[in-house]
Amino acid sequence: MRVTMISKALVVGIYQQKCEALARRGIELQVVVPPSWKDERGEMMLERAYTDGYRLDVLTLARNGDFHTHWYRGLGRVLRDFRPDIVHIDEEPYNLSAWQMQRHANQLGARTILFSWQNIARRYPPPFAWGERWMLGQIGALIAGTESAANVWREKGWRGTTHVIAQFGTDTDLFRPATGARPDRPFTVGYFGRLVEEKGLHVLLDAVSQLAGEWQLLLLGGGPLRAELQAEADRLGIADRVTFRDQVASTQMAAQYHQIDALALPSLTRPNWKEQFGRVLVEAMASGLPVVGSDSGAIPGVIGDGGLIVPEGDASALAGALARLRDEPGLAAALSARGRARAIAQYTHEGIAAQTADAYTQLMHAP
C-alpha cells in the first residue's frame, strides 16, 4: 500500500515518530511537509528528527501562515512521481490546501482520507462553504481527532466511514517521569503552549495569585499575549514568581516537564473555538505529572482519571485544584500514576499508527 500524507503539522519533529511507526507496519509512505509554518508564536521551522523508513518531500507554501488559503507549490509533481493508492489529507475540508490535495488525488485515481479537529459546527461563507461541501462528497473516509469532531461532520451531512483517532501520539520513552530526588524548589505550576486569550492564561494568573505559601509559575511558549500577561502578573504583585520562557524545539520538550510539579491547561470556550485536544496534557501525563484542565472541549476526555477538571473561567476552583496537588502528596502521586498509565494505554505513537493503518486498510477494501 502506497500512502501520501500531506501535513504542515509534521514540521514538528516529535510528531514524525508516527510516520516511522506507519512505515514499520509495511506502508510505503511519502510525507509532504512545508519548510516552515507560521502562527501566533512566529515561524516554526521544519525539524528533521524522525525520518527513517519513509520518503520526505519538502514543498514551499504559498500564503504561509494563512490557515484557510495556503497551498503547496509543486504538489502535483511529487504526487505523480510517487503515485499513491491513498492520499491522507491532514487539513480541514474548508481550506484551500485540502481542495488542492483532493484535486490531485482525483487526477491520479487515488482514494482520500481526511483528518479533522473541527469540534464546532461553524458555518463558513462562500467559497469555503462550497469547498467544504465538495470535499465531503469526494473523500473516501474521515478521521476525527475526537468524538465531538466526528459529531460535527455527521451534523453537516457526512455519512461515510468515520474513525476517531488522535492526530499524533506521544513517545512515552522520551516523555517519562524524572528520576532521582525532586529538586529543591517551590511547588511549580507549568503552562506550555501558545500565549493567546482562549487558553485562559489570565484565569491562571488569577488562580496562582490566590495560592498561599510557596509556589512559582512557568509559562513556556510564544504568542501575542506575552506583554499583557507580564503586565497582569505585575499588577497582581506576583511578577517575581512568574517566569516566561520562549518556545523550545519539540525534541527538547521532555526536559521541560521535569522542571514543573503540575501542568495547567485552563482553556476557555469561544464562539469560534474550543479546546480540540490539548497535547501537552498527554505529554505531561506521560512524564508522570498531575494535570489540571478546564472543562472546555476535549480536555475532560483526554485527561480521564489522570487529573483534575475545573469549570472553565473559575479561578478560585483552579486555585483550589492546584493547592490540592501541592498539599496532598498522596493525591498527586495517584494522579501521576493513573495519567502515565493512560498515556501508555491510549496515546502512544505506535497505537495511533496502528489505528491509522487499519483505517487505510479499510479504505483500500471499501467499494
From first to last of its 367 residues, what are the pLDDT tens digits of the chain?
999 999 999 999 999 999 999 999 999 999 999 999 998 888 999 999 999 999 999 999 999 999 999 999 999 999 999 999 999 999 999 999 999 999 999 999 999 999 999 999 989 999 999 999 999 999 999 999 999 999 999 999 999 999 999 999 999 999 999 988 788 899 999 999 999 999 999 999 999 999 999 999 999 999 999 999 999 999 999 999 999 999 899 989 999 999 999 999 999 999 888 999 999 999 999 999 999 999 999 999 999 999 999 999 999 999 999 999 999 999 999 999 999 999 999 999 999 999 999 999 999 999 8
For 37, the enclosing helix (H) or strand (E) is strand 36-39
Q: In the chain, where are the structural domains located? A: 2-169+348-365, 188-346
Question: Which CATH number does 188-346 carry?
Answer: 3.40.50.2000
C-alpha cell at 92: 480541514
Q: Among residues 217, 199, 200, which one has the least CA distance to residue 208?
A: 217
The answer to whether 2-169+348-365 and 188-346 have equal CATH topology is yes
Domain 2-169+348-365 has what CATH class?
Answer: alpha beta
DSSP alpha helix (H) spans, the chain = 17-24, 75-82, 96-108, 128-138, 147-155, 201-209, 226-235, 253-257, 279-286, 299-303, 315-327, 329-346, 349-365
Amino acid at 273: W
